[in-house]
Amino acid sequence: MKMIDLRSDTVTHPTEAMRQAMYEAEVGDDVYGEDPSINKLEMMAAAKVGKAAGLFVPSGTMSNLLAILVQTTRGNEIIVGSESHIFHYEVGGASALGGVVLRTVNNQPHGEIELEDIEKSIRSQDIHSPPTALICLENTQNRCGGMVLTPFYTAKVVKLARAHNLKVHLDGARLFNAAVAQNVSAMELSRGVDSVGICLSKGLSAPVGSVICGSSEFIERARKWRKMLGGGMRQAGVIAAAGIVALETMVERLAEDHANAKKLAEGMRTIKDIIVTQDIVPTNIILFETAKNIDAVKFSAKMKAEGVLLSPRGGNQFRVVTHRMVSTADIDTVLMTFTKVIKNLKS
Ligand code: TLP
């Protein structure tokens, strides 16, 4: 049976063009800075987000960790969204490895953190307080259902940060989704931030990798930290080559994933006992709940048995994510499967 895998856009496989580029990739030893494919990818990524330099890293998690390690010292506090990936899914690396305190500030349902909530959370010079060093934003905001931050909002956060002498990091794991959804460039979405990480291995379909971007000085320090963490790769041009294809050819098509997500959400809203918990679906992520009288464990097991994989989020909450390997026809199949499984569970 063909499975329709809606757990994440991370499940996308490399395209034929990526495999070909990987096969043909020019390589060198990247620890010596001699891998031409990596150097090209880093320059391309940095140019896309309007920064001076980039660094190829194995994962989005490492790009966030490097941004924190470079822009803080032990005992600092950093401001992160209450729904941020850094807080929920990065194994506490910022605290365990960077020695920083995570100050979570509420994400609003549309992903933003209120400016005044950020301002209230910035520490004074009081002797008892860990000094605030960094504000971290996330665009799109995964756990808010792929909500987008506008360039206008990000500019306001940057202005606030500057007024308090703080740095801003942007977790742009799905920055290109945010750009395509708003018809703005990734550069506009990154204007003013000190560091921005983009993921190649989500909707863009590359097999591995992220690029963290910032000033040349920032990247020089990040490179040293990456080496310490064991992330100094050698002929990794074979994977960077797929990342180049991702940036060159896979950005605009994200609009298809967004259209499929909208279609899916519209269909789900008509199914009794499925409750889409976000008012809008701007990108490729949908959060939903099953009615209380549906056994959530049985529900996801039955969906799987019928060929549809979902991400459980605890209790009766789930996430579905559209991507290149889910077609518009698959969306119809998913909707039929939802209806069938709910009906079966109730009878
Ligand atoms: N997110 C994954 C899981 O870890 C939850 C997913 O399936 O959505 N920032 C954001 C906003 C992310 O969503 C993710 C991955 C990361 C960072 C980390 O990227 P990787 O998985 O490359 O370390």
154 lines ligand 1 (CB under 6 A): no
Statement: residue 280 has pLDDT above 80: yes
60 lines ligand 1 (CB under 6 A): yes
Supply the pLDDT for residue 184.
Answer: 98
How far, in Å, CA of 248 to CA of 25, rounded? Answer: 15
C-alpha 174 – ligand 1 centre gap (Å): 9
Q: Which atom of ligand 1 is nearest to the CA of 9?
A: 7
3-state class of 283 per DSSP? coil
C-alpha 332 – ligand 1 centre gap (Å): 27
- Cα dihedral 33, 40, 60, 182, rounded to 10, equals 160
Q: What is the pLDDT averaged over residues 235-241?
A: 98
Supply the pLDDT for residue 27.
Answer: 98
Supply the pLDDT for residue 82.
Answer: 98
Supply the pLDDT for residue 1.
Answer: 86
Supply the pLDDT for residue 207.
Answer: 98
Supply the pLDDT for residue 314.
Answer: 93
Instruction: For ligand 1, atom 17, name the residue with the nearest CA.
Output: 60
Supply the pLDDT for residue 192.
Answer: 98
Supply the pLDDT for residue 190.
Answer: 98
CATH 3.40.50.720 fits 12-249, yes or no: no
Q: Which atom of ligand 1 is nearest to the CA of 61?
A: 23
- Cα dihedral 324, 327, 332, 335, rounded to 10, equals -20
What ranges do the domains of the chain cover?
A: 12-249, 253-346
The answer to whether the beta carbons of residues 311 and 321 sit under 8 Å apart is yes
Q: What is the pLDDT averaged over residues 271-287?
A: 97
> What are the residues facing 319 on neighbouring strands?
287, 311
pLDDT tens-digit profile of 67-102? 999 999 999 999 999 999 999 999 999 999 999 999
199 lines ligand 1 (CB under 6 A): yes
Residue among 124, 133, 136, 130 at smallest CA distance from 75: 130
Q: Which fold has domain 253-346?
A: Aspartate Aminotransferase, domain 1 (3.90.1150)
Whether cis (ω within 30° of 0) applies to the bond prior to 154 is no
C-alpha 126 – ligand 1 centre gap (Å): 35
Supply the pLDDT for residue 228.
Answer: 98
Instruction: For ligand 1, atom 6, name the residue with the nearest CA.
Output: 8
Pick left, alpha or beta for residue 137 (phi over 0 → left; psi -120 to 50 → alpha; otherwise beta).
beta
Q: What is the pLDDT averaged over residues 169-177?
A: 99
Supply the pLDDT for residue 156.
Answer: 98
Same fold, 12-249 and 253-346: no
How far, in Å, CA of 266 to CA of 280, rounded? Answer: 10
How far, in Å, CA of 178 to CA of 194, rounded? Answer: 19
Q: Which atom of ligand 1 is nearest to the CA of 171?
A: 9
Supply the pLDDT for residue 256.
Answer: 98
Supply the pLDDT for residue 347.
Answer: 75
283 lines ligand 1 (CB under 6 A): no
C-alpha 297 – ligand 1 centre gap (Å): 24
Which of 5, 6, 61 has most ligand 1 atoms within 8 Å of CB, for mutation? 61
Q: Which atom of ligand 1 is nearest to the CA of 174?
A: 11
311 lines ligand 1 (CB under 6 A): no
8 lines ligand 1 (CB under 6 A): yes
Supply the pLDDT for residue 346.
Answer: 84
107 lines ligand 1 (CB under 6 A): no
pLDDT tens-digit profile of 301-334? 999 999 999 999 999 999 999 999 999 999 999 9
Q: How far is CA 328 from the centre of its chain?
A: 23
Query: What one-letter code names the amino acid at 140?
Result: T
Tell me the residue ranges of DSSP E strands in the chain: 4-5, 53-57, 77-81, 101-105, 132-138, 167-172, 195-199, 210-214, 274-276, 285-290, 308-309, 311-312, 317-321
- Residue 269: count other Cβ atoms within 10 Å of its Cβ: 12
Indicate the average pLDDT of the chain. Answer: 98
Instruction: For ligand 1, atom 15, name the residue with the nearest CA.
Output: 60
The answer to whether the beta carbons of residues 137 and 169 sit under 8 Å apart is yes
